[in-house]
Structure 1
Amino acid sequence: MGLLDRFRGGATRGGAALRAGSVDSADARYLTDWVRSHEGVEGYVEPKTAVTDVTVILIAADGEWTRRIVGERGARRLARNLRIPVYDVRKTGYPQRMRDYDARKRVERQRASDAELREP
């Protein structure tokens, strides 16, 4: 990164999602389909990190979830277009149902792995 790069516009920082304020069309289609196929979906905006841009994680009523990189404005626009509530994960944290879902899946994977080892 050069000395003046930090003062330049979106081409050097933030990527297309931040510059355009939109979500990649394939990701938008995926997330739209995901919301339509799950009940009680809420969106949680995750902050930008050193590795990824702003992401949105969609969490269904049963705790199943999916995540995509969308940029800050893209996350808000997506939630508005999908008509789902959206929260800032830094303020609300992740819902317990998501942790419970992950724990159930971990147990299911372990049981499946154990069953494969027992089969002749």
Structure 2
Amino acid sequence: MAWWRRGRRGGAAPHDGSDLSSARAHLEEFVGTRRGVEAYVEPATNITATTVVLIAHDGEWTRRALPSRPQAFEVARALQVPVYDVNLTGYPARMRAWTARQRRDEKA
């Protein structure tokens, strides 16, 4: 049943949040190399684990899966950045604008 594997080409690992140390290292690097970073915790879905989205002042963003909602908030607080529940706040407009610019630049 190949259709169950759709989206996991090339043997990529699932985004289940099981690699906490790798996710934490990536998030620390993002915070350390950008300014004005905020964290947004996304709930788990049927497809993905709980995730943390970090968004810089210019809208650049990154997302990493974490094992649980409490751990997501814990990791975000440890990064010493403002932390929001995306269900309550939504995403900032600068994130959408940055993504739109990236798509536009790829087409050019």
Task: Tell me the TM-score normalised to structure 2 length.
Answer: 0.80
Shift of 1:73: 1.5
Match of 2:98 in 1: 101
Residues 17 and 64, structure 2, Cα contact 8 Å, conserved in 1? no
Match of 2:60 in 1: 64
Structure 1 unaligned residues grouped into runs of 5+ = 1-14, 18-22, 112-120
Query: Which of 46, 50, 58 pairs up with 1:50?
Result: 46
State the identity %.
47
Task: Tell me the TM-score normalised to structure 1 length.
Answer: 0.72
For the aligned residues, what is the CA RMSD? 1.5
Q: Distance in 1 between matches of 2:21 and 2:60?
A: 23
Shift of 1:89: 0.5
Residues 61 and 95, structure 2, Cα contact 8 Å, conserved in 1? yes
Query: Which of 81, 93, 110 pairs up with 2:78?
Result: 81
The number of residues matched between the two structures is 92
Query: Which of 16, 33, 36 pairs up with 1:37?
Result: 33
- State the SS of the aligned residue for 1:69: strand
Q: Distance in 1 between matches of 2:74 and 2:41?
A: 12
User: What is the one-letter code of the residue matched to 2:47?
Assistant: V
Listed one character per residue, the Cα deviations across residues 77-118 of structure 1 (whole Å, up to 9, x for unaligned) are: 11121100110111100000000001111110010xxxxxxx
Identify if the C-alpha distance between structure 1 residues 51 and 16 changes in structure 2 by more than 3 Å, giving closer, same or farther: closer
Identify if the C-alpha distance between structure 1 residues 107 and 75 changes in structure 2 by more than 3 Å, giving closer, same or farther: same
Shift of 1:16: 7.1
